Amino acid sequence: MRSLTIRGFKQPAVAEATFIAVVMVWGLTFVLSKNALAAVGPFAYNTLRLTLGALILTILTGRGWRRVRWRYIGPVLIGGLVLFAAYALQAYGQQFTTASKAGFLTGTSVAYVPLFSALLLRRRPGREAILGVAMAIGGLYLLSGADNLRLAPGDVWVALGGIGWALYIIVLTRYSPQVHLLAFSALHVALAALFSGGIWLLAEPLAWPDAPAVWWGVGVTGVLILGLGTSVQMWVTRLVTPTRVALITTLEPVFAAIAGLLVGEALTSRMWLGGGLILIGMLTAEITPRFQWRFGPRAAER
């Protein structure tokens, strides 16, 4: 991925800014996915957009395929399985719960990432990151508009999907330094598409979708979220801690709310407060350590 490793593109701040732009696209395309899932089953939708994303990544990889080795098999299997599971659990559960609860429960993946990072990667998050996570969770709850946290069957599936997304961040953090980013992205996204296609054959009608909403959702999310977004997310995990990556992803429901506003949905004062709390939580984890470095003990020593 030579274009992303030139001088100046290795800076964490640039990586984070790029990922924020990707998350903005994720949130703004929420309306497209919601309309698509009203016309087609979740596994059919996931299969189509995962396949398109894999094709885009395959083309972008170019000569990078020469760097693929047999040692990629394990990481690709793990990455593909976790990505499939996260998408499947989230989409399946969304059929039986409200959008507000689904957004909150998916966003709580930010709470699992520091735990998994400490247990699986031996990376203990700082106090600022933990504080930022707590603020983000509170903001997600306010933004969702949910009145209670009682879990219905659909909520349980979406909550499990949130754990899947947390594990996906850990997987990318673990393997991204060892592989060619685009090749690995193409392979594990393609594997996730195969898994999803298998469930589509077994559990949903095998019919070619003809609703325009489906193809708008597949085209936009397949290209921008899976085709480009996955490679950017892998690049970011090389330079940024898993907890910060998770905090940035909590901006997705903020941008989703903005997308809803653009199509006529109302934003309450509670939702504005929740979005603001998410932003404050992210900034707390991002800016505070740098502020302390510049004006704290190291500056005093000079």
DSSP for 202-259, please give it.
HHS-------HHHHHHHHHIIIIIIIIIHHHHHHHHHHS-HHHHHHHHTHHHHHHHHH
- Which pLDDT value is given to residue 205? 86
For residue 25, count other CB atoms closer than 10 A to its CB. Answer: 16
For residue 266, count other CB atoms closer than 10 A to its CB. Answer: 7
Tally of CA atoms within 13 A in the half-sphere of 135 that contains its CB: 21
Quote the mean pLDDT of the chain. Answer: 79
Give the model's confidence band at 117: pLDDT under 50 very low, under 70 low, under 90 confident, else very high: confident
* Rounded average pLDDT over 107-136: 78
Handedness of CA 24, 131, 91, 75 (dihedral sign): positive
Q: Write down the pTM of the prediction.
A: 0.79
> pLDDT tens digit string along 8-37?
445 777 888 888 888 888 777 777 777 888
In 5-123, alpha helices (H) = 12-28, 30-37, 42-61, 73-94, 99-107, 109-120
Q: Residue 90: which of 77, 108, 76 has the closest Cα? A: 108
- Which pLDDT value is given to residue 10? 54
- Which pLDDT value is given to residue 83? 95
> pLDDT tens digit string along 209-232?
888 888 988 988 888 888 888 888
Give the model's confidence band at 292: pLDDT under 50 very low, under 70 low, under 90 confident, else very high: very low
Residues 6+ apart with CB under 8 A from 147: none
Give the model's confidence band at 302: pLDDT under 50 very low, under 70 low, under 90 confident, else very high: very low
* Rounded average pLDDT over 110-139: 78
Give the residue, 143 or 61, on which the prediction is more confident.
61
Percentage of the chain lying above the pLDDT 90 cut: 23
> What is the Cα–Cα distance from 186 to 54, expressed in whole angstroms?
5
- Which pLDDT value is given to residue 100? 60
- Which pLDDT value is given to residue 240? 82
- Which of the residue ranges 45-59, 93-107, 159-173, 239-253 would you say has the lowest mean pLDDT? 93-107
Classified as helix, coil or strand, 152 is coil
- Which pLDDT value is given to residue 101? 64
> pLDDT tens digit string along 241-252?
887 888 888 777
Give the residue, 73 or 273, on which the prediction is more confident.
73
